[in-house]
Amino acid sequence: MASKMPPPRFVRSVLKSFMAESGLEPRHKYDAHANKLRITNAAESKVDFELRITKDHTNRLQILHGGTIASMVDFGGSLAVASMGLYATGVSTDLNVTYLGSGGKVGDIIKATAVCDKIGKTLAYTTVTFWNQNGELAARGSHTKFVAKAWEASPLFTPPDGAEIADKVD
């Protein structure tokens, strides 16, 4: 079994797993190597990430799609749960997004902070906040997850056998 990791490397390993096994966040779309989606910071309960906006992420107005932001609330809330040490991150119960302004256009970088406000045996409560390239609040979301089974999946901060592991983070 992989060994216990500090949060920054563990959260990046969960992101690798999303990209390897999930169809919605595939490598070509959120590829960390291409600097599209990047975790810039991860600590227990808090993950900062940013997305370089490409054509894949925009709507007919050529700005960041509301659906992309909603997906990132889902995705970001899951990373916030992962930052508490859970490799499996549960299933969604409720997700809300409020859109306050444009997230930006192709080429811009949107920054986000995901926070796990509380985690219990059954439910985890997360929030994700987004700022556009001008530093303006673009959107904020809330994501509640059912995590009862996620606790049992593997020891805290430890990817399961065979999982792709992120490089060590300095």
**Residues binding its own copies (CB under 8 A):** 17-18, 21-26, 54-61, 65-68, 70-75, 88, 91-101, 117-118, 122-123, 125, 127, 137, 140, 142, 144, 146, 148
Min CB(170)–its own copies separation in Å:
28
Min CB(136)–its own copies separation in Å:
8
Cβ neighbours around 3 below 10 Å, total = 9
* Nearest residue (CB) to its own copies, 41 versus 92: 92
Min CB(168)–its own copies separation in Å:
23
* Nearest residue (CB) to its own copies, 48 versus 164: 164
Min CB(119)–its own copies separation in Å:
10
* Nearest residue (CB) to its own copies, 21 versus 35: 21
- DSSP H or E stretch at residue 153: none
Q: Which amino acid is at 68?
A: T
* Nearest residue (CB) to its own copies, 34 versus 148: 148
> 46-52 and 91-99: which strand pairing?
unpaired
- Kindly provide the b/e burial profile for residues 81-107, where b requires at least 16 CB atoms within 10 angstroms of the residue's own CB: bbbbbbbbbbeeeebebeeeebbbeee
Question: In whole angstroms, what is the distance from residue 45 CA to residue 81 CA?
Answer: 7
Question: In whole angstroms, what is the distance from residue 143 CA to residue 157 CA?
Answer: 21
What CA–CA distances, in Å, run from 113 to 48, 56, 72, 79? Answer: 4, 21, 11, 10
Whether the CB-CB separation of 88 and 150 falls below 8 Å is answered with: yes
Min CB(113)–its own copies separation in Å:
14
